Structure 1
Amino acid sequence: MKITVLFPTHTEASLFQRDGVHTIISGVGLTATTMATLKAIQSDQPDILILAGIAGVYEHSSLKLFDVALVESEVEADLGFFTTNGFVHMAHLPIAMEFERRHTLHCPHIPVDTPFKRANSLSLNAALAPFVDTGNIDIENMEGAAFFYVCLHENQRFLELRAISNIAKIGDDNWDMTTSVQALTDGLHQLIDSLQAT
């Protein structure tokens, strides 16, 4: 099985090393991830492409710090307009009926019997944005929606794995990169082991 792993940063990739698995540093954010994802699909032609990184968890989620989860869905949460009534997501504007039907992107490749927890995620260009709708959402990151979008349009099998590094709350700056990156690395090896065993 040909596997490629995208990491947003060198820090997230720092502990991972595995023979036969190609790793790429995609860069942070939706734009960099779009380019890196498409290039990885075209150049590597992997059987499965994995986005692996850290994420912030919303306080209402059942996920906890250092949990590792597979992401079921992504929304580009800060795509929209500010009006006199506040922020309106693109999906909720009358002119965006087609977008409304497609703004939540789903991963159809999560194994049924996976031991990993699952998460619904928001992708943000502005982390900790206070104006986005976090209802029924577990985590936030800065790359996932772009990754999902490209993979779905290119018919690429994919998964996104996230380790919780912090509480997604303005003023809470207690990020534990060391522990979360170790959890991410351990989880990624476990995920690849299970993929290669099938």
Structure 2
Amino acid sequence: MNILIVSATHSESEKITSHRFDHHLVHVEVTGIGMTNTAYHLTKILSKGTFDLVLNIGICGSYGRSRPIGDVVHVIEEIFSEIGATDADGNFLDLKKMGFKHFTKDGKEYYNRILNPNKLSDFFDYYPNNVKEVRSVTVNTVNGDARRIESIKSLYDPHVENMEGGAVACVCLQEGIPFFEFRSISNYVEPRDTLQWNIPLASVNIQHFMIEFLSHLK
């Protein structure tokens, strides 16, 4: 297989080099932070080559403290939590409530949510039991305000948040390329206090996980 690994920053993938692994060819690319950078650069990369699988890796913030900082999670659903409108009372209206589709693929309409239809067992012969499947919101603004955090939780009940996953899912799904997303927790989504974060630990852990996980490719 021809496999593409994408991360938002160099520090999230620098330990993984582009290489041939058994009969697989692994490419590593950095897209830049945020949905716009990711959508542009990923689309450009895919236009220049043919890939059988895309693996999106990086860090994330966790809603709740049930898992420690540094833990790796498997994102199976991405939610665009900010695409929509607000009414006169300040209530959020998602795309479905507004009557607009995000996109249509194979006759299915997508709005703010993308549930990954791909199965890991089709590509890997092993799945670590300690890696939790989670639901994530993709955001333009990392949430550090208590009122905003509570609003997101009440609307979507997410486990984690990140800034690129929805864009990768959107591009890959429309291009018909299987994809998976793994992230390591760098912080808790709480009133902002970066002294409690550990981005270096999360960045190292997600790479160690992915290097090991690649050895289980079918």
Residue type of the alignment partner of 1:147: V
Q: Is residue 2:191 matched to residue 1:176?
A: no
What is residue 152 of structure 1 aligned with on the other side?
A: 173
CA distance in 2, matches of 1:50, 1:86: 37
Q: Is residue 2:69 matched to residue 1:47?
A: no
Residue type of the alignment partner of 1:6: V
What is residue 133 of structure 1 aligned with on the other side?
A: 152
Where does 1:61-140 land on structure 2 (aligned, <5 Å)?
A: 62-91=66-95, 93-96=97-100, 98=101, 102=110, 103-112=112-121, 114-115=127-128, 116-128=131-143, 130=148, 132-134=151-153, 135-140=156-161
What is residue 210 of structure 2 aligned with on the other side?
A: 188
CA distance in 1, matches of 2:6, 2:141: 21
| Cα distance change of structure 1 residues 10 and 90 upon mapping to structure 2, 3 Å threshold | same
Residue type of the alignment partner of 1:69: V
Find the residue that maps to 1:56 and give its secondary structure.
Answer: strand
| Cα distance change of structure 1 residues 193 and 169 upon mapping to structure 2, 3 Å threshold | same
CA distance in 1, matches of 2:172, 2:206: 21
How far residue 30 of structure 1 moved from its aligned partner, in angstroms, is 0.7
CA distance in 2, matches of 1:63, 1:85: 35
| TM-score computed with the length of structure 1 as normaliser | 0.88
Tell me how large the CA RMSD over aligned residues is: 2.1
CA distance in 2, matches of 1:110, 1:117: 15
How far residue 14 of structure 1 moved from its aligned partner, in angstroms, is 2.6
How far residue 175 of structure 1 moved from its aligned partner, in angstroms, is 1.7
Show CA shifts across 1:25-52 (max 9, x none). 1011111111122122222311111111
CA distance in 2, matches of 1:105, 1:71: 11
Residue type of the alignment partner of 1:55: C
Sequence identity percentage: 25
Note the residue ranges of structure 2 that are not aligned, 5 or more in a row. Answer: 21-25, 104-108
Count of residues in correspondence between the two structures: 194
| Cα distance change of structure 1 residues 136 and 40 upon mapping to structure 2, 3 Å threshold | same
Residue type of the alignment partner of 2:176: N
| Cα distance change of structure 1 residues 155 and 86 upon mapping to structure 2, 3 Å threshold | same
Residue type of the alignment partner of 2:51: P
How far residue 83 of structure 1 moved from its aligned partner, in angstroms, is 2.9
CA distance in 2, matches of 1:40, 1:18: 14
Q: Is the 8 A contact 1:80 1:87 kept in 2?
A: no
CA distance in 2, matches of 1:42, 1:185: 26
Show CA shifts across 1:120-176 (max 9, x none). 100001110616532431100001111101111110011111011000112232221
